[in-house]
Amino acid sequence: MTGEQLAAGSGGNYDVIILGGGLAGLTLGLQLKRARPETTIFIAEKRPGPAPEAAFKVGESTVEVSAHYFAEVVGMKDHIEADQLHKAGLRYFFPAGDNTDIAERLEWGVPFFPPNPSYQLDRGRFENELAKRNLDAGVELVQGAFIDTVELGDDEHSVTIVRGGPGGERTTVRGRWIVDSSGRAFLLKRKLGLEQDNGHNVNSAWFRLAGGIDIEDWVDESNTEWFERMKQRGLRRLSTNHLMGQGYWVWLIPLSSGSISIGIVSDERFHPFEQIETLDGALEWLREHEPQLAAIVDSRRDGIEDFLRIKDFSYGCKQVYSADRWALTGEAGPFLDPFYSPGSDFIAVGNTLVTDLVVRDLNGEDVAERTRRHDDLFLRLYKEALTWYEGQYEMWGDPQVMIAKIAANNIMYWSTTGLLFFHHKLADTEFMAEVMPEVERIWALNARLEALFLEWFRMVAQEWRHAYVPTVAFPGMGMRHVELTSNFDDQALKAKLTEDSELMEAVAVAIFHKAASFLPEGAPDPETKINPYAIGLDSDRWEQDGLFKEPGLAIERAHELAPGITNLWVDKIAQPA
Ligand SMILES: Cc1cc2nc3c(=O)[nH]c(=O)nc-3n(C[C@H](O)[C@H](O)[C@H](O)COP(=O)(O)OP(=O)(O)OC[C@H]3O[C@@H](n4cnc5c(N)ncnc54)[C@H](O)[C@@H]3O)c2cc1C
């Protein structure tokens, strides 16, 4: 498309200009067109042609919210079913000795495909299809268009793009809305001074290996107990496998193009970036920490298709939406941590809130107050989830603490963001205001639990081996996943959120009792009612923190409300190292 054609096609004037045609920008283009087909949209993407498969961007694993968003909200289900992979949940292997035998490592994950699907996406393949569908939907997507300047105006904004390299043809387009989805180019964030450090200092290095890897090939066929843990052979390969250790985890994500994505994510305090910033360094690091994986990669070094790394990749953002009709989405806003693959979830939530604002504004509504509320909600979701990661990588190698943590984190995720997203409620400001007290209860319990997990780890870190903890062992967790697609009406949804807060209270009390049992003075008597909002392992603080004040739950009642939670206590099933 030339500059003249651009001007002829649209008058160079659009309802929405999207800066950057990556995952966030392209899905937003489609979502806006679905929500309001007459919307005129311009997307500028600097990459000139189609993306390569396999060795392209990072961020291939989806979880429930993003899977639902891509498949159903954006309408990519047919493509995903035909050309991408179904994912067998998140799976974790905790350390065992020198990590040379995965069958020795305590495993935590699903034994079957979870009922609500999630997917492993080959990003190049996915973005190429998204680009095609944007063009089909009438979006003016211009590739090979470098965004040079962005000017925000009172009535309209303008963007100047350059095509054909530096000194190339310049074109200026104007728009009512500007959405920055330029990823780590941070076009608007930099311009408006919205950068914010978040104190979570983690690094990553990753590469794609042709031909893939099946971790089930690492285990001898005679180990029937290990294979029979899964309902079907080959399931583990399709999970996002996490090889866990103190201060790090390594991801293994299969791609439909046949390669596998392998990445190290590590906390700077334990594994300085210098150790993994080159391919040689990263492989040496794997040899030391994950030798079973390293041996396979070393034997197939010719199959390594790329190598990328990023230092201190997590950051905040002061504001994401403005009544002056600009918005940030995807990595152009805040970015947390890939441990639970939330990157695409935040694209799903962010794009949904942006779509709500843009469509209402274009339909003539005053969206100033709504913009403020959406901005507040999005940044709260980010900040509450940050507690899962910030300062917490220290305990990443401890199976007992991490299993309790992952269960609690999943309950929070599915009961709050998950349930509300699946029920199309996050953009419903009135409904959100009504249920926010329940959501905040869950967030408050989560914050208390995260502090306790670290205390617990520092008190009793222990290696456990040779066991499988299936996620289904604790129905209180698994059912929150199942209920995502319950199609609750508003009344039922409110009741559900109250029930989920009560479950989370019971979980907090049960975890507190388990952790406190390791204190020299032991846990409080079973009859004592424990205030879940005051839990902690410093017994000198119990009285002053109000641990014995209302609302309180005795342990027996907590176990009644969270049946099966004791199946997460690994000392019942695993062998000590
Ligand atoms: C180590 C790591 C692991 C991750 N793993 C996962 C995961 O498993 N699952 C998950 O969901 N997420 C994951 N993420 C997050 C995921 O990578 C991001 O959420 C996602 O890629 C962000 O998409 P985006 O569209 O915001 O940015 P991008 O996909 O980077 O798109 C930005 C686009 O803007 C274009 N652009 C930039 N500047 C200009 C310019 N001046 N002019 C024109 N175009 C421009 C770029 O070319 C690019 O195409 C991970 C992130 C990291 C760091």
Task: Return the pLDDT at 6.
Answer: 54
What's the gap between Cα 322 and its chain centre? 24
d(CA 486, CA 490): 12
d(CA 52, CA 54): 7
Q: Whose CA is nearest to atom 27 of ligand 1?
A: 183
Task: Return the pLDDT at 7.
Answer: 43
Residue with structure tokens 């390791």? Answer: 518
Structure tokens at 34: 């679905």
Structure tokens at 29: 């283009």
Q: Average pLDDT for residues 476-502, to the nearest whole number?
A: 98
Closest CA to 571 of 106, 95, 96, 93: 106
d(CA 358, CA 549): 47
Q: Whose CA is nearest to atom 50 of ligand 1?
A: 59
Centre of ligand 1 from the C-alpha of residue 298, in Å: 29
Query: DSSP letter at 524?
Result: P
Residue 4 has pLDDT above 50, yes or no: no
Centre of ligand 1 from the C-alpha of residue 21, in Å: 10
Q: Whose CA is nearest to atom 35 of ligand 1?
A: 20
d(CA 247, CA 394): 5
* 3-class DSSP assignment, residue 272: coil
Please give all residues whose beta carbon lies within 6 A of any atom in ligand 1, as ranges: 20-25, 44-47, 57-62, 66, 146-147, 181-183, 185, 204, 263, 310, 313, 330-332, 338, 341, 343-344, 347
Residue 9 has pLDDT above 90, yes or no: no
Q: Whose CA is nearest to atom 4 of ligand 1?
A: 59
The 3-class secondary structure across 227-246, one letter per residue, is HHCCCCCCCHHHCEEEEEEC
Residue 81 has pLDDT above 80, yes or no: yes
Residue to mutate (ligand 1; options 17, 23, 173, 180; most atoms within 8 A of CB): 23
What is the amino acid identity at position 199? G
Q: Average pLDDT for residues 416-434, to the nearest whole number?
A: 98
Do 62 and 87 touch, CB atoms closer than 8 A?
yes
d(CA 169, CA 12): 15
For residue 532, give every residue at least 6 positions away whose Cβ sits within 8 Å of its Cβ, in sequence order, or none: 445, 448, 504, 505, 506, 508, 509, 512, 551, 553
Residue 158 backbone phi and psi in degrees, to 5? -135, 150
Do 282 and 251 touch, CB atoms closer than 8 A?
no
pLDDT tens for 222-240 read 999 999 999 999 999 999 9
Model pTM score: 0.97
Do 417 and 341 touch, CB atoms closer than 8 A?
no
Residues linked to residue 173 through DSSP beta bridges, in sequence order: 159
Centre of ligand 1 from the C-alpha of residue 183, in Å: 5
Half-sphere exposure of 211 (CA within 13 A, CB side): 8
d(CA 535, CA 552): 11
Residue to mutate (ligand 1; options 65, 69, 182, 261; most atoms within 8 A of CB): 182
For residue 566, give every residue at least 6 positions away whose Cβ sits within 8 Å of its Cβ, in sequence order, or none: 510, 559, 572
Residue with structure tokens 């504004």? Answer: 361
Q: Average pLDDT for residues 169-197, to the nearest whole number?
A: 97
Centre of ligand 1 from the C-alpha of residue 13, in Å: 27
Ligand 1 atom having least distance to the Cα of 26: 25
* Strands 326-328 and 169-180, sheet pairing: parallel
Task: Return the pLDDT at 5.
Answer: 44
Ligand 1 atom having least distance to the Cα of 204: 1
Q: Average pLDDT for residues 326-341, to the nearest whole number?
A: 97
Query: DSSP letter at 559?
Result: H
Neighbours of 302 (CB within 10 A): 7
Centre of ligand 1 from the C-alpha of residue 481, in Å: 27
Centre of ligand 1 from the C-alpha of residue 461, in Å: 36
Residue 52 has pLDDT above 90, yes or no: no
Residue with structure tokens 């406190």? Answer: 516
Ligand 1 atom having least distance to the Cα of 63: 11
Q: Average pLDDT for residues 14-36, to the nearest whole number?
A: 98
Q: Average pLDDT for residues 44-66, to the nearest whole number?
A: 90
Task: Return the pLDDT at 51.
Answer: 86
Q: Is the preceding peptide bond at 551 cis, omega within 30 degrees of 0? A: yes
Phi-psi domain of 554 (left: phi exceeds 0; alpha: psi -120 through 50; beta: other): beta
Query: DSSP letter at 470?
Result: E
* 3-class DSSP assignment, residue 306: coil
Neighbours of 299 (CB within 10 A): 9
When the pLDDT of each residue in the chain is averaged and rounded to a whole number, the result is: 96
Q: Tell whether the torsion through CA atoms of 513, 515, 518 and 521 is positive or negative.
A: negative
Give, for 496, the enclosing helix (H) or strand (E). helix 490-516
Centre of ligand 1 from the C-alpha of residue 47, in Å: 13
Centre of ligand 1 from the C-alpha of residue 73, in Å: 20
Give, in order, the Cα–Cα distances in Å from 547 to each of 439, 503, 529, 566: 22, 18, 8, 22
Do 470 and 229 touch, CB atoms closer than 8 A?
yes
Residue to mutate (ligand 1; options 42, 46, 188; most atoms within 8 A of CB): 46
Residue 319 has pLDDT above 70, yes or no: yes
Q: Average pLDDT for residues 162-167, to the nearest whole number?
A: 91
Please report which confidence band the pLDDT of residue 56 belongs to, taking 50, 70 and 90 as the band edges. confident
Closest CA to 356 of 342, 379, 375, 343: 375
Do 246 and 394 touch, CB atoms closer than 8 A?
yes
d(CA 11, CA 33): 19
Which residue blocks in 139-233 are alpha helix, DSSP H?
A: 187-192, 224-228
Half-sphere exposure of 308 (CA within 13 A, CB side): 15
Give, for 19, the enclosing helix (H) or strand (E). strand 13-19
pLDDT tens for 509-553 read 999 999 999 999 999 999 999 999 999 999 999 999 999 999 999
Please report which confidence band the pLDDT of residue 10 belongs to, taking 50, 70 and 90 as the band edges. low
Q: Whose CA is nearest to atom 49 of ligand 1?
A: 22
